[in-house]
Amino acid sequence: MVDFAESPRTPRLAAPVLPEPKDSPVETAFAAPPGTEWNRLDPVFTRYRRLLTALVAVPAAALGGTGVGLWLHWAMGVAVAVLVLLAMAAAWVTAEGTRRSWGYAEGEHDFYLTFGTVIRQLLVIPYGRMQVVDVTANLLEQALGIATVRVRTAASTADARIPGLRLADAAALRDRLTERAETFPTGL
């Protein structure tokens, strides 16, 4: 009797894809600074992203589909509308993952910001390099009670924003960052 499990021709099933373990190189590279944890965005940010997507995609599908349908052929108009709505569905589904990818931490000497689902980024901004910290909120953000904190530095590539914070949390973060920026030397 032949044991087929031991046969070299038996195909092996791929192992299931599991989340990165806590001590993986990826998790270590994007870990919060020692002694801190990532502060995440408010869950309202997911609703904000979905509403913004719908406010743009639904009219684009209607107008684009109608325009192309009238200009070329009705079937092409339907195709354009379906493509726009599929893009909206993809943005709708990924909104929560986008929110979870954002995090910020206030270290002893630096401010840390991480974000990105496909391309992850980690920004480290020394408090002494911060020049302007401001809070902004568009009409939809105001209606939902959230705001964006923007940190500007001398290096234009290090400008950072933290969207989707509750208004009170955004104002408190702005005040803390401004205070810390004033107490640290500029290093210039």
Q: Which residue has the higher pLDDT, 24 or 2?
A: 24
Query: Residues 13-23: what's their mean pLDDT?
Result: 49
pLDDT score for 13: 42
29 — phi, psi (to 5°)? -65, -30
Q: What is the mean pLDDT of residues 50-75?
A: 74
Q: How far apart are CA 165 and CA 41, in angstroms?
A: 6
Tokens at residue 44, please? Answer: 């309202």
Confirm if 149 and 138 have CB atoms less than 8 A apart.
no
Question: Which secondary structure element, helix H or strand E, spans residue 172, and what is its range?
Answer: helix 167-183
- Extract the runs of DSSP E, i.e. beta strands, from the chain: 103-106, 110-115, 121-126, 130-136, 146-153, 160-166
| Model pLDDT, residue 34 | 86
Element (H, E) at 96: helix 74-101
Q: 3-class DSSP state for residue 123? A: strand
d(CA 141, CA 171): 14
Q: What three-state secondary structure class fits 144?
A: helix
CA distance linking residue 180 with residue 177, whole number of Å: 5
pLDDT at residue 142, rounded to an integer? 95
Q: Tell me, what's the pLDDT at 75?
A: 76
Does pLDDT of 188 surpass 70?
no
150 conformational bin, left if phi > 0, alpha if psi -120 to 50, beta if neither: beta
| pLDDT above 90 for 30 | no
Please give the pLDDT value at position 5: 47
Task: For residue 47, name the pLDDT band (cuts at 50, 70, 90).
Answer: very high
**pTM attached to this predicted model:** 0.74
Between 96 and 75, the higher pLDDT residue: 96
pLDDT of residue 184: 80
Phi, psi at 73, each rounded to 5°: -150, 145
Task: List CB contacts of 179: < 8 A, sequence separation 6 or more.
Answer: none
**CA 32 vs CA 35, 37, 103, 142, 148: distances in Å:** 8, 6, 9, 29, 21
